[in-house]
Structure 1
Amino acid sequence: MFGLVRSGQGRGGGGSRDLRADFFRGVALWFIFINHMPGNWLGDYTIRNYAFCDATEAFVLLAGYGAGLAYGAMLDRQGWLFASAAVLRRVGTLYIAHMFLFVVFTAQVGYSVAALDNMAYLDELALDAFGEQPYRALLEALLLRFQPAFLDILPLYIVLLLMLMPALALLNRPRLLITASLAIYVAVRLADVNLPTWRGGGWFFNPLAWQALFFIGCALGSSRRAGDPAPIPRSRALMAACAALLAMGAVLVVAWQRPEPLPYLPDWVASFLSGVDKAGLHPVRLLSILALAYLLGHWIDRDAAWLRGAAAAPFVLMGQHGLPVFCAGIFLSFVGRVALEQSEGWPMQAAVNLAGLLAMVAIAAVGAWYRQRSGEGGRKRAVAERTALPAAAANRTMAE
C-alpha cells in the first residue's frame, strides 16, 4: 500500500504533495460514508457531533486547496485558456460520474423498495418523483435541478469548478479573490439567493454561499504553490481564539443534541442554534471549519513521519482518489443502511463499517495501481520518442 501512495508532485506539478490534505480528505470521505447510514454507532463520534461543521465543509475546503495548487500551476505554466480547459474537462468527468452514480443509486434504492417492500426509502431519499413523473425526473436530474438525498455534493462541486474558471484570473491575487468571494457570500445570505430546483426551493448546498469556503481553499492552495509554507502565520493569540471557538462550539453542539440540558438553555441560545443552517453555510459553520483547519495546519507538520505510516496510509490513499471513493461510499452506505436495519447489534455494526472501509481502500488502491502503471507507460513512451528507440529499448533505458 505504501508504494501506491503518491508523495511527489501534485496534479499541477507545483511543489511536493501535501499529504496532510490527502489524509484529511480521506478521513472526510470515511465520515461521509459513516454519516449516511442511520443507526450507525460510529456516527456518534464523527466531527458533526462536536463542532459546527462536518465532513462536507472539510471536503469543500480541501477541494479548493487542491484546485488552487493544481490549476494554479497550470495557470502559471500554460496560461488561463489551458487552465480553464483543464477545469472544464474535470467538470465533464464529475458530471459523468454524478449521472452514473445517480442511475446506480436510483436502481439500488428501487430494488430495495421492491425486495423489502419499504416505500419509506423513496420518501426519505426524495426519489418519490420517479414514481410520479419518471421521464421529467430524469430530465431534471440531467439539468442538476433534481438532486435526491446524498446526491447533492457532486453537483455542488461541479458548479464551484465552473465558478473557478473566471476566478482563475484572480488566483495569483489571493487577497482580492477572498475579498470578492466573501462579498458575494454576504450578499447571497442577506438576499437569500439560491439556485432553483425542479420541485421548488433551492439547492440543499447553495453553491453561491459555499463558494466562499471553496475559494478560501483556492487562495490557500495558491499561496502554498507560490512557496509560502504558512499562508496564515502562526499566532498564539489566533490559535487561542480558534481553540476557544471550537471548544465553545463543542459544548453547544453536545448540549443541543441531548435532551437533558435543553430546558436549561436560554431562549436566545436555542434560537441561535436552530438558525445555524447548513444549506447557506452559516457564518458559524464557516468560522468553525476555518478555525479547525488553522489549528491542524499549524499543529501537524507537513513532513510529519506518521503521514507516511501504516495507520495513515489507507486514508491518504483514499484522499488521493477521492472521486471513485466518494461514489463507492454513497453506494456502500445504502447497502450498509439496509444491513443495519436487519440487525443493529455490534457484530453487524463492526462488519458494515469494516467492510465499507476496506472496500473504499481497495477501490483507491486499484485507482492508484492503474495510475501508477499508466504513468510508467507514459514515461516509457516519452523516452522512446526522445531517443528514437523502439519500445523494448526504451524499457531497458528506463530500467537502467
Structure 2
Amino acid sequence: MPVVLPPRGRDLRLDFFRGIANWWIFLDHIPNNIVNWITPRNYGFSDAADLFVFISGYTASFVFARMMLERGFIIGASRLGRRVWQLYVAHVLLFVIYVAEIGWLATRYDNPILAQEFNVFGFIRDPFTTLYEGLILKFKPVNLDVLPLYIVLMGCFPPVLWMMLRRLNWVLAMSVLLYFAARHFDWNLPSYPDGAWYFNPFCWQLLFVFGAWFALGGVGELMPLIRSRWLTVLGGGYLLFALVITMASRFPELRELLPVWLYDAFNPNDKTNLAPYRFLHFVVIAFLVVRFVPRNWLVLERPVFWPVIVSGQQSLEVFCVGIFLSSLAHFIL
C-alpha cells in the first residue's frame, strides 16, 4: 500500500484527544476520587494510556515522516533522537522531583509506609543502586511507567518509520507478529529490583505502530469499512459489552448475573500485555471517532475546548506536572 502523508497543518483532533488523555491520566492516578469516574477506564477495556500511546505513534509519523522523505533518513533520525533525548531529560527531572516529593512527605509526616506505597523505599535501602537503575529505566516509582515506554518506543522508531515509508503494511504485519510472539513467549523488559515492565513495550508497540500506520494512509484504506453501517452496529455492541463487563468488576450485583467463565475471561484486565480485547476496544473507538469527528470539525474551535487543546499541544509539560500533582493529591486524600 502506498504511503499517504498527512496534510500539513495542525489537526485539532490530535491536540484535543492528547490533552484529554493527559487529564484522564492525572485523574486516574488519584485514588478515592469521585471525579475519576468520568475517565474511560470505568466504562470499557481500554483507557487513557491506550489513547496516549496511539496518538504518540500517530503524531510521531505526522511530524517526522515528511522530514525523513524530503531530507533523508539521517536528518529524520537525528530529529527523532533529539526528541527522545528531550523525553529522557524530562523523565529524569520528573523522577528526581517525584522521589524528593515522596521522601519529604514521608519524613515530614512520619509516614514511612508512604515510601513503600509509591515504590521509592529502595532509595532508603540502597540509594546509589536504585538511582542508577532509575536512570536506565529499570526502576520506576508508582505512576512513572508511561514516559519510559514512550522513550523506548520513540527510540526504536527511526528504522521502523524508514521501513513504513517503503513497506507500510509489512511493518504493521511484523508489529502484529511481535505482539503475539511477546504474549506467547512472555517477552518483557526486566524491572528493578524484580518483576517486569508494567507496560510491556513488546506488546504496546502494536498500538504505537498502529497509530503511525493510521497516519500514513491506513485510515484511508479502511474508510469503506469505517463508514459502513454494520461496523457502527457491531462496534457499538462491542462497546456495550465492554461496558457491562467493566461495570461488573465494580458492582457485585451485576457480576452475579454473568456466567463465571465469561467474567473471568476479561478480568483482571490484562493491561501489561495489552490484551487483544483491549486493543480491539480501542480500535473500535478510533474508527467511530474517525467516522463522526471530521478533521475540520468546527466545534473544536470553540473557546470552551481550548484549555484541553493547549494541554495537548504542551503534552509533555502537562503530563509531568500532572504526575507531580496527582501524587500530592494522592497523599492529601
Q: TM-score, normalised by structure 2?
A: 0.94
**Per-residue deviation, 1:171:** 2.1
**Per-residue deviation, 1:326:** 0.3
**Per-residue deviation, 1:179:** 0.7
Q: Report the secondary structure of 2:246's partner residue.
A: helix
Moved runs in structure 1, 4+ residues, more than 3 A?
A: 228-233
Q: Is 1:194 aligned with 2:184?
A: no
Q: Report the secondary structure of 1:197's partner residue.
A: coil
Please show how residues 2-151 of structure 1 align to structure 2 within 5 Å: 15-151=8-144
Per the alignment, residue 176 of structure 1 pairs with 170
Cα distance in structure 2, aligned partners of 1:270 and 1:13:
41
CA shift digits 1:15-40 (9 cap, x unpaired): 12111111011001001111111121
Range that drifts further, 111-120 or 133-142:
111-120
2:293 is matched with which residue: 293, 300, 305?
A: 300
**Per-residue deviation, 1:116:** 1.8
Per the alignment, residue 360 of structure 1 pairs with none
Structure 1's 127 and 60: CA in aligned 2 closer, same or farther, altered over 3 A? Answer: same
What's the RMSD between the two structures over aligned residues?
A: 1.6
Conservation of the 8 A alpha-carbon contact between 1:51 and 1:249: yes
Cα distance in structure 2, aligned partners of 1:300 and 1:238:
16
**Per-residue deviation, 1:260:** 1.7
Q: Report the secondary structure of 1:216's partner residue.
A: helix
Range that drifts further, 35-44 or 114-123:
114-123
Conservation of the 8 A alpha-carbon contact between 2:247 and 2:254: no
Structure 1's 34 and 295: CA in aligned 2 closer, same or farther, altered over 3 A? Answer: same
Letter in 2 for 1:170: M
Conservation of the 8 A alpha-carbon contact between 1:13 and 1:70: no
Structure 1's 160 and 34: CA in aligned 2 closer, same or farther, altered over 3 A? Answer: same
Q: How many residues align?
A: 326
Per the alignment, residue 219 of structure 1 pairs with 213
Q: Report the secondary structure of 1:147's partner residue.
A: coil
Cα distance in structure 1, aligned partners of 2:19 and 2:119:
27
Q: Is 1:325 aligned with 2:318?
A: yes
Cα distance in structure 1, aligned partners of 2:193 and 2:329:
29
**Per-residue deviation, 1:258:** 1.0
Answer with 1 or 2: which has the greater Rg. Answer: 1
Cα distance in structure 2, aligned partners of 1:109 and 1:132:
15
Letter in 2 for 1:107: A
Question: Unaligned 5+ residue runs, structure 1?
Answer: 1-11, 342-400
**Higher RCO (Cα < 8 Å, 6 or more apart):** 2
Per the alignment, residue 204 of structure 1 pairs with 198
Cα distance in structure 1, aligned partners of 2:273 and 2:142:
17
Conservation of the 8 A alpha-carbon contact between 1:220 and 1:231: no
Q: Report the secondary structure of 1:194's partner residue.
A: coil
Please show how residues 353-392 of structure 1 align to structure 2 within 5 Å: none
1:262 is matched with which residue: 249, 255, 262?
A: 255
Conservation of the 8 A alpha-carbon contact between 2:6 and 2:215: no
Cα distance in structure 1, aligned partners of 2:10 and 2:159:
26
Per the alignment, residue 376 of structure 1 pairs with none
Cα distance in structure 2, aligned partners of 1:232 and 1:79:
30
Cα distance in structure 2, aligned partners of 1:46 and 1:202:
26
Question: Unaligned 5+ residue runs, structure 2?
Answer: none
Conservation of the 8 A alpha-carbon contact between 1:14 and 1:70: no
Q: TM-score, normalised by structure 1?
A: 0.78
